[in-house]
Amino acid sequence: MSSAPELTNAADLTSAEYLADRVRKAYQSLGTDNLDVVESLYSPDIYFEDPSHAIQGKPALLKYFSKMFVNLTDCHFKFHKTITNGTDIFMSWTMFLRHPRLDKGRTIRVEGASYLRTRNGQIYYHRDYFDMGAMVYENVPLLGRVIARIKQRLGQ
């Protein structure tokens, strides 16, 4: 496995490294206005999974992204490490998102990672790993206080 260079000359990259570079660029600022760029990353038979959804097919994935982005004030990623092996990509990242109903609209920071499998220059499998509680549950007013209290008691 090799570590992919950060945003470098495409001629120097393998197919997976080039695709990882495109993913980093597309996900640095997500929204309904750049869904065409995101769409170009995925194969028609994409299987996408995160802690709350499992989605099959590009139309369903784009519908999911559209619904998710319309409610977000901001969503972008900072990528830390990318590892490729020619067809597989592993990326660690921090997601920064703002939603008017979560944490009073303040920026929420979520650490995570993505495992991507590629074929013919497109992603056909995308699995995101992150703490759904840190992203949503801990930022809902009443529920967040309950979870904070539980975490505090577990730490004693």
State the DSSP string of 123-138. EEEEEEEE-HHHHTGG
pLDDT at 70 over 70: yes
Cβ atoms 74, 97 nearer than 8 A: yes
Which amino acid would we find at residue 75? C
Q: What is the pLDDT of residue 137?
A: 46
Kindly tell me if the per-residue pLDDT of 127 is higher than 90: yes
Using pLDDT thresholds of 50, 70 and 90, give the confidence band for residue 136.
Answer: low
Strand order in the sheet with 88-98: 2-3, 74-84, 88-98, 108-119, 122-130, 42-50, 53-56
Contact 49, 55 (CB under 8 A): yes
Higher pLDDT, 72 or 22: 22
* 14 pLDDT more than 70: no
Average pLDDT over residues 128-151: 61
CA–CA separation, 84 vs 117, rounded Å? 10
pLDDT at residue 10, as a whole number: 47
pLDDT of 152 higher than 70:
no
Query: SS3 of 140, please?
Result: coil
Give how far the C-alpha of residue 11 lies from the chain's centroid of Cα atoms, to the nearest Å: 26
Cα 135 from chain centre: 12
Domains of the chain: residue spans and CATH = 2-131 (3.10.450.50)
Is the pLDDT confidence value at 47 over 90? yes
Average pLDDT over residues 109-138: 84
Of all residues in the chain, the percent with pLDDT exceeding 90 is 40
Mean pLDDT of 136-147: 54
